[in-house]
Chains A and B, each alone.
Chain A
Amino acid sequence: MTRKIMVLPNGACDGCDKCVDACGQALGYGSKDSESYRAAIKIVNSEEGYFPVVCRNCHQAPCVTACMSGCIQPDEDGHVITDYDRCVGCWMCVMSCPFGAIETDPQKHVTVKCNSCLDKSVAPCVAVCEKSVLIQINIDEYTTRLRKNSAIRFINGDREVAQKCDT
């Protein structure tokens, strides 16, 4: 099963924000300088480094459980999809998402959450990610990479090596 957008926790994100631009553009939000600008992916600059915040397509997702209108549902491949025609902007999902991956758009009365760009062969955010932090990958391969990553980190205690493994 292939997931469209996955985040590799390899510490390689340099905060270039190209994914954010690509996403906002794909969603039809205009200028990045405008207050009404939104994107379904955000890069958070934290003490631990740059951190991509995007829908993780949780199994038994808290947003699906919390959604008041029933507009968030998983598809057969496990992508958690919001039907924006039915979103009323109650922010229940925002209140429930542990990852903070759902934003509010109060002007349009809808949330902004990654819907995995299923209509495109490669999601725009993945296409522009030069550090391969965002990837399109089979779930089994993804977890294999995570395990390998963690093993190498454990052995070497070295972030550089872990990064090489992923990229």
Chain B
Amino acid sequence: MRYVIVGASYAAVGAVEEIRSIDSDGEILIVSDEPYRIYARPLISYYLENRVAEKNMYFRPEEFYEKNRLKFVSGKKVVKVEPDGQKITLDDKSVIDYDRLLICTGGKPFIPPLKGIYSKNVFSFVKWDDAKKIKKLADGAKEVLIVGGGLIGLKAAEGLGGLGLKVTIIEKEASVLPLVLDETAGKILREHLKDNGVDMVTGNVASEILADESGCVTGVALDNGDSHKCGLLIIAIGVRPNIDLIEGTAIEVNRGIVVDRRMRTNVDNIYSAGDVVEAWDILSGSNSVIAIAPLAFEQGKVAGCNMAGGKSAYTGGIAMNSTDVFNMSLMTMGLTKNLDESYEIKSYKDGEVYKKLVFKDDMLKGVILVGDVDYGGALTQLIRNQADIKDIKDDLANKVLGKAGLASILPTILSKTPVPTFH
């Protein structure tokens, strides 16, 4: 049995660990288009800021490859998938046969078709190489513009701000993380960024990338006629499923590769997982792309198990994220934004601490935690299990948002959700 895994990040590792727990003999081959062994992609902002050393960038230790007897092809891109012949073609024209194929190629940054977008010193911020290039330039550049205030833009801002550069984020909405943060949380974060030297220009979009005669970026023009100067520009306006390699195949794609609960595509022996898929979304009750590391890993595990002949079903995911920006902790889980009146919202704010709970049909649907995120996992479980909390809803809201705190109701929350076992 030959397992071929295209892409080398969280889903790939989850799959490898699961395959090896079932099949110790099969051949596992990973193809990565990057020149590194598997590294923790979201750490690039920490690497940029010198908070993580090169040796700590790797998601698994060096022994991982030998222990799991992995063949690792790096720096090669898969250009073609041929389900009929069960083979893939790499950019060096070599062909690899597979018995089971896992496509976990993640996302690729969306590059808007703006004039000047291909000027020098304009970067995305999703790969280690992006961080390395930016780091090299960071000494010379004094002003940095970041187009896009999502998580990638935000972490880039923190990283570059930490290096002492003057950073400004250009965002068309009113604050950062506009997809998940409500107005109150957005304001707190915007103020916090300002206190830490990161400015925001909001309400307008970039219309042109300005460059000098040598083709180096000099600034960004906005659609309202304003322009802002920079020596370094980061484009962070979103990531799309990276599906180029399956073009021309019968693999079903909607926004991402469509998979069932066992992470199978509609084509035999081809599985998919991670940021490239559209998998089960608990809260919408349909498939959607939720591009976050923990779900990629979970999906990879499910795919790996099924590829190796086991039986495993993905329980589904929710949109969730957690981060820390200039020492402000931040967590959002589930539905937090653009809620109609069928949702019941309760919140609490005190200075830089903000908490919000979203309820509907006697279930917890969403949570925002800013400044105090401890015990947040208990709430995540309530959402992921869509636990019936009719009898504790008011108590939960009073405690989480009141003086008593989440901890005081922890045993009750645990009684509402299944918890993992131990060996």
Give the complex CA separation of A111 and B30 in angstroms. Answer: 32
Mark interface residues in B11-35 (1 if CB within 8 Å of A CB, else 0): 0011000000000000000000000
Cβ–Cβ < 8 Å partners of A69 in chain B: 40, 43, 52, 56, 59
Let me know if A60 and B420 touch, CB within 8 A.
Answer: yes
Pick from B51, B321, B377, B412: contact of A99, CB under 8 Å: B377
**Closest Cβ of chain A: how far from B60's Cβ, in Å?**
6
Assess whether A53 is interfacial by the CB under 8 Å rule: yes
Assess whether B409 is interfacial by the CB under 8 Å rule: yes
Let me know if B417 and A98 touch, CB within 8 A.
Answer: yes
Knowing A66-B293, A104-B373 are in contact, say whether A99-B378 is a contact too (CB < 8 A): yes
| Number of cross-chain contacts by CB at 8 Å | 143
Residue of B whose beta carbon sits closest to that of A78 = B423
Cβ–Cβ < 8 Å partners of B406 in chain A: 100
Knowing A94-B322, A103-B374, A109-B51 are in contact, say whether A46-B411 is a contact too (CB < 8 A): yes
Let me know if B40 and A65 touch, CB within 8 A.
Answer: no
Knowing A69-B59, A78-B422, A95-B333 are in contact, say whether A106-B324 is a contact too (CB < 8 A): yes
Let me know if B322 and A65 touch, CB within 8 A.
Answer: no
Assess whether B320 is interfacial by the CB under 8 Å rule: yes
Let me know if A44 and B407 touch, CB within 8 A.
Answer: yes
B residues 287-323 in Cβ contact with A at 8 Å: 293-294, 297-298, 301, 320-323
Cβ–Cβ < 8 Å partners of B380 in chain A: 95-96, 98
Cβ–Cβ < 8 Å partners of B196 in chain A: none
Assess whether B178 is interfacial by the CB under 8 Å rule: no
Residue of A whose beta carbon sits closest to that of B323 = A90
Cβ–Cβ < 8 Å partners of A45 in chain B: 408
Pick from A1, A58, A90, A99: contact of B322, CB under 8 Å: A90
Assess whether A115 is interfacial by the CB under 8 Å rule: no
Let me know if A44 and B408 touch, CB within 8 A.
Answer: yes
Let me know if A62 and B59 touch, CB within 8 A.
Answer: no
Let me know if B378 and A65 touch, CB within 8 A.
Answer: no
Give the complex CA separation of A61 and B421 in angstroms. Answer: 9
Give the complex CA separation of A47 and B411 in angstroms. Answer: 9
B residues 265-290 in Cβ contact with A at 8 Å: none
Let me know if A68 and B43 touch, CB within 8 A.
Answer: yes
Assess whether B331 is interfacial by the CB under 8 Å rule: yes
Let me know if B377 and A96 touch, CB within 8 A.
Answer: yes
Cβ–Cβ < 8 Å partners of A88 in chain B: 43, 46, 51-52
**Closest Cβ of chain B: how far from A56's Cβ, in Å?**
6
Let me know if A94 and B377 touch, CB within 8 A.
Answer: yes
Let me know if A100 and B377 touch, CB within 8 A.
Answer: yes
Let me know if B58 and A70 touch, CB within 8 A.
Answer: yes
Assess whether A42 is interfacial by the CB under 8 Å rule: yes
Assess whether B179 is interfacial by the CB under 8 Å rule: no
**Closest Cβ of chain B: how far from A115's Cβ, in Å?**
16
Give the complex CA separation of A75 and B116 in angstroms. Answer: 52
Assess whether A129 is interfacial by the CB under 8 Å rule: no
Mark interface residues in A1-32 (1 if CB within 8 Å of B CB, else 0): 10100000000000000000000000000000
Cβ–Cβ < 8 Å partners of B412 in chain A: 46-48
**Closest Cβ of chain A: how far from B174's Cβ, in Å?**
25
Assess whether B227 is interfacial by the CB under 8 Å rule: no
Assess whether B238 is interfacial by the CB under 8 Å rule: no
Q: Which of B56, B322, B376, B422 has the most CB of A within 10 A?
A: B422
**Closest Cβ of chain A: how far from B103's Cβ, in Å?**
20
Residue of A whose beta carbon sits closest to that of B378 = A100
Give the complex CA separation of A45 and B406 in angstroms. Answer: 11
Assess whether B114 is interfacial by the CB under 8 Å rule: no
**Closest Cβ of chain A: how far from B366's Cβ, in Å?**
13
Cβ–Cβ < 8 Å partners of A44 in chain B: 407-408, 410-411
B residues 398-423 in Cβ contact with A at 8 Å: 406-412, 414, 417, 419-423
Let me know if A68 and B420 touch, CB within 8 A.
Answer: no
Assess whether A124 is interfacial by the CB under 8 Å rule: no
Knowing A94-B374, A95-B322, A99-B377 are in contact, say whether A65-B423 is a contact too (CB < 8 A): no
**Closest Cβ of chain B: how far from A68's Cβ, in Å?**
5
A residues 69-117 in Cβ contact with B at 8 Å: 69-70, 78, 85-86, 88-100, 102-104, 106-107, 109
A-B contact pairs, 27 of them (CB 8 A): A1-B423, A46-B409, A48-B411, A66-B297, A68-B40, A70-B13, A88-B43, A89-B324, A90-B322, A90-B323, A90-B324, A91-B331, A91-B373, A91-B376, A92-B293, A92-B322, A93-B377, A94-B374, A94-B377, A95-B320, A98-B419, A99-B378, A99-B410, A99-B414, A102-B377, A107-B327, A109-B324
The 8 tightest CB contacts between A and B, nearest first, are A100-B375, A58-B420, A97-B377, A66-B294, A70-B59, A95-B322, A91-B322, A98-B381
Q: A residues near B, CB below 8 A?
A: 1, 3, 42, 44-48, 51, 53, 56-62, 65-66, 68-70, 78, 85-86, 88-100, 102-104, 106-107, 109, 139
List 7 extra interface pairs beyond A66-B297, A69-B59, CB under 8 A: A1-B423, A47-B412, A62-B377, A68-B293, A103-B374, A104-B324, A104-B374
Q: B residues near A, CB below 8 A?
A: 13-14, 40, 42-43, 46, 51-52, 56, 58-60, 293-294, 297-298, 301, 320-324, 327-329, 331, 333, 373-378, 380-381, 406-412, 414, 417, 419-423
